Amino acid sequence: MEDTVLFRKQYVISADDPLTFGEASSDIKKTLKQLGVPPDVIRRAAVSMYEAEINTIIHGGGGEGEVFIYAGRVKIVFRDQGPGIPDIEKAMQPGFSTASEKAREMGFGAGLGLPNIKKNSDEFTIESEPGKGTTVTIIVRL
Ligand SMILES: Nc1ncnc2c1ncn2[C@@H]1O[C@H](COP(=O)(O)OP(=O)(O)OP(=O)(O)O)[C@@H](O)[C@H]1O
Ligand SMILES: [Mg+2]
């Protein structure tokens, strides 16, 4: 029963308070530990989720996250109604960043988040419409 959802959780991703940045990713990391998922798989899922969560905050202005755990995989989705990504291929290139001065002061903006998600996930899709928003979907096999 590969497609039975064993666990599902939704998160509101707010861009208001830096102390809460990354909270959803930390929460899922704990859940995967409790489920006995192997450490390397947890690391890949947590890194991928963290990068997408931070992008939702610093580029998307906040949004929502949703995580589904199935017997063989975890699916992570982030949606925002921010500016969107005009050229996804360009955004995927290591070093490309449009991070604001404020985001850079917080240590973001190396342009390595999306390449990092690609490296650490098994499936990764970005749907984006300039002016409307962005949806990122990540799958990591357990
Ligand atoms: N949710 C999003 N909404 C709008 N633009 C985005 C979003 N996610 C990524 N981008 C665009 O893709 C670029 C590359 O993202 P990436 O995560 O690789 O780097 P970064 O966030 O700029 O820096 P880093 O992740 O290294 O701190 C961003 O600078 C931004 O232009
Ligand atoms: Mg990033």
Q: In terms of CATH, what superfamily is 7-141? A: Histidine kinase-like ATPase, C-terminal domain (3.30.565.10)
Question: Is 111:96 a contact under the CB 8 Å cutoff?
Answer: yes
- Strand 73-80 relative to strand 123-129: parallel, antiparallel, unpaired? unpaired
The rounded Å distance from CA 35 to ligand 1 centre is: 31
Among protein residues, the one whose CA lies closest to atom 8 of ligand 1: 55
Q: For residue range 52-102, list pLDDT tens digits in order.
A: 999 999 999 999 999 999 999 999 999 999 999 999 999 999 999 999 999
* Ligand whose nearest atom lies closest to the CA of 96: 1
Note the pLDDT of residue 2.
61
The rounded Å distance from CA 34 to ligand 1 centre is: 31
Q: For residue range 88-111, list pLDDT tens digits in order.
A: 999 999 999 999 999 999 999 999
- Supply the pTM of this predicted model: 0.97
Q: Distance between CA atoms of 70 and 110, rounded to whole angstroms? A: 33
Residues 6+ apart with CB under 8 A from 72: 2, 141, 142
